[in-house]
Structure 1
Amino acid sequence: MTTTSPVAAQTLFALYAGVIDAALDALEASGALPAGLPRGAVTCEPPRDATHGDLATNAAMVLAKPAGTNPRALATLLVEELGRHDRVVSAEIAGPGFINLRLAPQAWLDELALIAARGADYGRSTLGGGTTVNIEYVSANPTGPMHMGHCRGAVVGDALAALLEFAGHKVIKEYYVNDAGAQVDVLARSAHVRYREALGEDVGAIPEGLYPGDYLVPLGQALAAEYGDRFVGAPEADWLVPFRKQAVAAMLVMIKADLAKLGIVHDLFSSEAELQAAGKPEAAEAWLRAHDLVYDGHLEAPKGKTPEDWEPVELPLFRSTRFGDDQDRPIRKSDGSWTYFGADLAYHFQKAETADALVDIWGADHAGTVKRIKAAVAALTGAEGKPPKPFEIKLVQMVQLLRDGQPVKMSKRAGNFVTLADVVDEVGKDVVRFTMLTRKPDAQMDFDFAKVVEASKDNPVFYVQYAHARICSTLRKGAAEGFAPSADNLNLLGDEELAMVKLAAQLPRIVEGAAIAREPHRIAFFLYDLAAAFHAFWNFGNDKPEKRFIVAQDPAVTQARLFLATQIGQVIRNGLALLGVEAAQEL
């Protein structure tokens, strides 16, 4: 079985993975099982159906064949050995050889005490072993304020960063500034229009192809204050570079302010223009040529009917077909400038120098370039017999904004889109962040302003926050009536209360699973399930007063249930913190 980390070893699932290991060791020692069998595929996890028990293991299924026996025969021996453990109430064989375990209530009470002892660190892991992961997310063109098309990827990337840190990785949160392409020249020209406007010129309608948003008005005023009328009638060549530089800087200030509204702060902003000025694309090309991964060749003719003016042009091509792509890709254009892919390749080459693994969060509209950039990273990091560095690209679908089911009108300030800042100002950071994680990133999402603030079970944001607020309210009420949480009589907790503990105890394994899969939305799903369990017990108390958290005539039960509520609240807070959401004290 895979060795668990010191932190993970303190949690229940890792603890009983160790119990299963010990039982296998005993069978080896007795000669019933051959020594040295690989146990890496042995698992200890909750059964799919909770009625089957508390834990399930596939140990007999995966070890029977190499042991030269059949799964049920090995399971019979293993069940007998596991039954000797003082916290295992029963061990039963299911199907062809799976084993289901039922644990004594004290096992769950021990985990409840562990939650209390670890507090904000409950669920933290050393799974990552301190390895460095570079997560690049948002990376919107620096041409205006953030809009809701950027929001989902921003939240997914930021939550993933927090998750990986909690799971024991070092994380670099990076934003790639695309400030070397044609779009920043368009930005500079748009700023020049606003500059002339600030000096009193009637510019009329913003010309087609330029950015029309009012957000450029302050930039135009700043340029007018700095340069006066020096560049009003000057040739574009005189003002394009300084206007571009100042416009990009102003847009980055705006973008960082927008991200701050979401609680997002990147560690690093990498400039494409600086990357090219430093000669990084040339260095990447030289390295690739030295390893026979770039050659001078001709692209295939366009598929279908070939345009009359098409003629083959020799270009430097990256051998991406060696790495699963469907054709080799040019890294330069016919005029010698870098293709977007060529610049992106050099950027990833730079990132790989400082990280053990890379993760990119991209909009789904970039799906067509996934193969080629994965091929590039595999080539750049896996040459000379080395395994390539792990590299994943998470695609995020767009978000459709609705108000009472109707599409939301565009923002006047932005010109042609709804700004992220406007949305956060209306519904709040926590609502936006949690909502963005209530579906898998590659699934379409509707964001209805009415529904995301609705006080109902159908609104996951409210449902989870309401659970935490109820816990806080219960603890305040208990304190007012003279009751304090206490672990002295936890044995008074019944099956309904232990069901909540069993669910809360899954946080450590969900953290590790979500970190491995790079899927922070799993935390949001877990929180919804835990909130549902809490609300169910609360409602149970409405029907049966003796099941309420505060039973005035039974102080011992009240103190035990308040202790339970405290720890459920702690687990909810820990999960919300990973999502970048503050836990509500009251609603």
Structure 2
Amino acid sequence: MNIFADFESRVKAAVEAVLSDSENGVPDLARVTVEPPRDAAHGDLATNAAMVLAKPLGLKPRDLATRIAAHLARDPDVETAEIAGPGFINLKLRQPFWIAHLAGILAAGGDFGRAPATGRRVNVEYVSANPTGPMHVGHCRGAVVGDAVASLMAFGGDEVTTEYYINDAGEQVNVLARSALLRYREALGETIDEIPAGLYPGEYLKPVGEKLASEFGDRLLAMDEAEWLPLVRERAIDAMMAMIRADLKLLGIEQDVFFSERTLHDDNGGKIAAAIADLRERGFVYQGSLPPPKGQLPEDWEDREQTLLRSTEVGDDQDRPLVKSDGRYTYFAADVAYFHDKFERGFQEMVYVLGADHGGYVKRLEAVARAVSGGTATADVLLCQLVKLYRNGEPVTMSKRSGNFVTLADVVEEVGRDPVRFMMLFRKSDAPLDFDFQKVTEQSKDNPVFYVQYAHARSAAIFRQAVEAGLTLPDFASLDRETLNLLNDEGEIGLIRKLAEFPRLIKSAADAKEPHRLAFYLYDLASSFHAQYNRGKDLPELRFVNADEAKITFARLALVKAVALVLATGLGLIGVDAPEEMR
């Protein structure tokens, strides 16, 4: 059902036929593509075949294009094959082809655009916020991007597991425990005026302190820190993760796996040691010293021998320390062990969705993937830029609940899940995003989520209008071709063309891990649908429902059905509802 892949095969067959008697034979056709033309007025499809093949054949691109175009013009689905510019070939397809394609969309239903299983196992890790408080709006963007990437890749045929990495082994969770103990003392009646520097100030820890008081009474007060710290830390982490899961649920996100970093350190770092031993056996771990950092040396700089990963051999900028001079593992060693664990679980591609401040992780994670897997698995790092919140153009103030930031729950509870999810995807993830509470709730074309959802609601309203007009709706998936052939208006054919882009869009968005492409496509499809609807206001003969002309009405309703199917599928992939009506 991907017409671009279909015609790419036809173009390559045409090239092979044209060059069948060539002395040089047929060159590699891997660079031959078929895409939508930049200007729709130029046709339905465009191919670069002559442009990429002329040089290796020693021919002029336009001369080769003339021969290829003449062969393609004989294809029964091709109306015209014209040469443009230095040698591009533009194809215009016949109306019966588009009608047959519409019938195929209706027959496929919600599976239109779904790719066959690839057999590839993919792990998509996203959010992975430190379990020290509620999620903020920056986490929100990573959560939505990661969830949409996972959905796209699954629809594209991959076997996808979504994962959250719980950073519960660092000093930050000890700070969390000390902050919770302060709230515990407050729950016992002690007056807490100013939160000491270095502790978490948010009010979200008050319920944790109250639960500790209920469970332990005042017994924790008599304990040394070494005794109370692990007790409080475990309960505080559990409470924070429950809060984070609740925040994610507000966005409609439920990840498959919650992986604890502490499990890597259990048994004296057994999993980390195993990963390092495996890499040492294959020559990637050695004892050595690193060159001093460029510029002025830090006061604590030591030229000492360390356990290092030979990561420069697999694309990194420098070799990375795995073990500190005191024998403790570095944070990077845990990253290596975590990837090693994923690889041992059978994943072939690991996708990490991280904040923009993790840009330095890209090369090192890619290097870890090559070293651990021997090049059989990959690491793809997606970076999410900051989100700035506004209300009527003014920056939004901080949340009292969090202490120093706006929480994800604050945003979702004010404007709803759908505007949040859609707008978090309406910019490429590595570009900054401005989110205005007022604009995302406007009922206008300037609000993309409203505009797209309204298109789906309008399609449902059109069907209700047909029923109210006394028409009995047919099974559109089996509507006869004679009826569908009544669709011949350029706007109607244009809508089918836009629908035909969907499978290619899904593949490209999944391959590039860029879900914003789907959000843009849905907006464009909605715009085309609204435009055709508005044409019917000026030209009654183009209205979708005309009770006196049942056959053409059924044909147009079949087109509306196809638009609704693709809108619902696309919105579902990015986790946004497709409403039947909007008030």
Aligned residue for 1:235? Answer: 224
Residue in structure 2 matching 1:345, options 336, 340, 345: 336
Structure 2 residue 428 is the aligned partner of structure 1 residue 440: yes
The root-mean-square deviation of aligned C-alpha atoms, in Å, is 1.9
Distance in 1 between residues matched to 2:514 and 2:539, nearest whole Å: 39
Question: What whole-Å deviation, never above 9, does each CA across 1:348-392 have from its counterpart, x for those lacking one?
Answer: 11112221111100000111232222222222122xxxx342221
Structure 2 residue 300 is the aligned partner of structure 1 residue 312: no
Aligned residue for 1:459? Answer: 447
Distance in 1 between residues matched to 2:67 and 2:322, nearest whole Å: 61
Please give the residue correspondences for 1:244-255 in structure 2 after superposition, counting only pairs within 5 Å.
244-255=233-244
Partner SS state of residue 206, structure 1? coil
> Which segment is superposed worse, 292-301 or 576-585?
292-301
Aligned residue for 1:109? Answer: 99
Give the number of equivalent residue pairs.
572
> Which segment is superposed worse, 286-295 or 463-472?
286-295
Give, in angstroms, the shift of residue 182 of structure 1.
0.3
Q: Which amino acid aligns with 1:46?
A: P
Aligned residue for 1:371? Answer: 363
Aligned residue for 2:83? Answer: 93
Give, in angstroms, the shift of residue 34 of structure 1.
6.3
Asked whether the equivalents of residues 356 and 384 of structure 2 are also in contact (C-alpha less than 8 Å), the reply is yes
Give, in angstroms, the shift of residue 35 of structure 1.
5.5
Aligned residue for 1:323? Answer: 314
Question: What whole-Å deviation, never above 9, does each CA across 1:421-447 have from its counterpart, x for those lacking one?
Answer: 121111111111101000000000011
Aligned residue for 1:182? Answer: 171
Aligned residue for 2:32? Answer: 42
Aligned residue for 1:79? Answer: 69
Distance in 1 between residues matched to 2:23 and 2:45, nearest whole Å: 22
Question: What whole-Å deviation, never above 9, does each CA across 1:213-248 have from its counterpart, x for those lacking one?
Answer: 121111112222222211113210111112111111
Q: Which amino acid aligns with 2:172?
A: Q
Give, in angstroms, the shift of residue 49 of structure 1.
1.4
Q: Which amino acid aligns with 1:537?
A: Q
Structure 1 pair 418–64 and aligned structure 2 pair: CA distance change class (3 A): same
Distance in 2 between residues matched to 1:265 and 1:72, nearest whole Å: 54
Partner SS state of residue 360, structure 2? helix
Partner SS state of residue 501, structure 1? helix
Distance in 1 between residues matched to 2:23 and 2:567, nearest whole Å: 43
Distance in 2 between residues matched to 1:503 and 1:567, nearest whole Å: 11
Partner SS state of residue 220, structure 2? coil
Aligned residue for 1:274? Answer: 263
Q: Which amino acid aligns with 1:466?
A: Y
Q: Which amino acid aligns with 1:58?
A: N
Aligned residue for 1:3? Answer: none
Distance in 1 between residues matched to 2:542 and 2:195, nearest whole Å: 67
Structure 2 residue 364 is the aligned partner of structure 1 residue 389: no
Partner SS state of residue 231, structure 1? helix
Question: What whole-Å deviation, never above 9, does each CA across 1:127-174 have from its counterpart, x for those lacking one?
Answer: x61201111100000111111110000000000000000000000111
Distance in 1 between residues matched to 2:371 and 2:299, nearest whole Å: 36
Residue in structure 1 matching 2:287, options 291, 296, 309: 296
Partner SS state of residue 143, structure 1? coil
Residue in structure 2 matching 1:535, options 513, 530, 533: 530
Give, in angstroms, the shift of residue 65 of structure 1.
4.1
Give, in angstroms, the shift of residue 58 of structure 1.
2.0
Distance in 2 between residues matched to 1:92 and 1:429, nearest whole Å: 47
Asked whether the equivalents of residues 16 and 26 of structure 2 are also in contact (C-alpha less than 8 Å), the reply is no
Residue in structure 2 matching 1:55, options 37, 45, 63: 45
Partner SS state of residue 222, structure 2? coil
Q: Which runs of 5+ in 2 are unaligned?
A: none
> Which segment is superposed worse, 311-320 or 395-404?
311-320
Q: Which amino acid aligns with 2:289?
A: H
Aligned residue for 1:7? Answer: none
Question: What whole-Å deviation, never above 9, does each CA across 1:544-567 have from its counterpart, x for those lacking one?
Answer: 222221234333222221111111
Structure 1 pair 474–220 and aligned structure 2 pair: CA distance change class (3 A): same
Structure 2 residue 140 is the aligned partner of structure 1 residue 148: no
Aligned residue for 1:564? Answer: 559
Aligned residue for 2:576? Answer: 581
Distance in 2 between residues matched to 1:184 and 1:27, nearest whole Å: 68
Asked whether the equivalents of residues 463 and 528 of structure 1 are also in contact (C-alpha less than 8 Å), the reply is yes
Structure 1 pair 332–408 and aligned structure 2 pair: CA distance change class (3 A): same
Question: What whole-Å deviation, never above 9, does each CA across 1:86-105 have from its counterpart, x for those lacking one?
Answer: 21111112223221111111
> Which segment is superposed worse, 436-445 or 266-275?
266-275
Give, in angstroms, the shift of residue 481 of structure 1.
0.5
Give, in angstroms, the shift of residue 287 of structure 1.
2.1
Q: Which amino acid aligns with 2:361?
A: T
Asked whether the equivalents of residues 163 and 258 of structure 2 are also in contact (C-alpha less than 8 Å), the reply is yes
Partner SS state of residue 331, structure 1? strand
Distance in 1 between residues matched to 2:65 and 2:303, nearest whole Å: 67
Taking structure 2 as the reference length, the TM-score comes to 0.94
Q: Which runs of 5+ in 1 are unaligned?
A: 1-9
Aligned residue for 1:356? Answer: 348
Structure 2 residue 489 is the aligned partner of structure 1 residue 502: no
Asked whether the equivalents of residues 379 and 388 of structure 1 are also in contact (C-alpha less than 8 Å), the reply is no
Asked whether the equivalents of residues 366 and 378 of structure 2 are also in contact (C-alpha less than 8 Å), the reply is no
Give, in angstroms, the shift of residue 199 of structure 1.
2.0
Structure 2 residue 215 is the aligned partner of structure 1 residue 220: no
Residue in structure 1 matching 2:460, options 472, 494, 510: 472
Partner SS state of residue 74, structure 1? helix
Asked whether the equivalents of residues 365 and 379 of structure 2 are also in contact (C-alpha less than 8 Å), the reply is no
Structure 1 pair 264–241 and aligned structure 2 pair: CA distance change class (3 A): same
Partner SS state of residue 359, structure 2? helix
Distance in 2 between residues matched to 1:504 and 1:104, nearest whole Å: 16
Give, in angstroms, the shift of residue 33 of structure 1.
8.1
Distance in 2 between residues matched to 1:481 and 1:335, nearest whole Å: 81
Please give the residue correspondences for 1:490-529 in structure 2 after superposition, counting only pairs within 5 Å.
490-493=484-487, 494-529=489-524
Query: Identity over aligned residues, as a percent?
Result: 55
Distance in 2 between residues matched to 1:41 and 1:322, nearest whole Å: 30
Residue in structure 2 matching 1:207, options 168, 171, 196: 196
Taking structure 1 as the reference length, the TM-score comes to 0.93
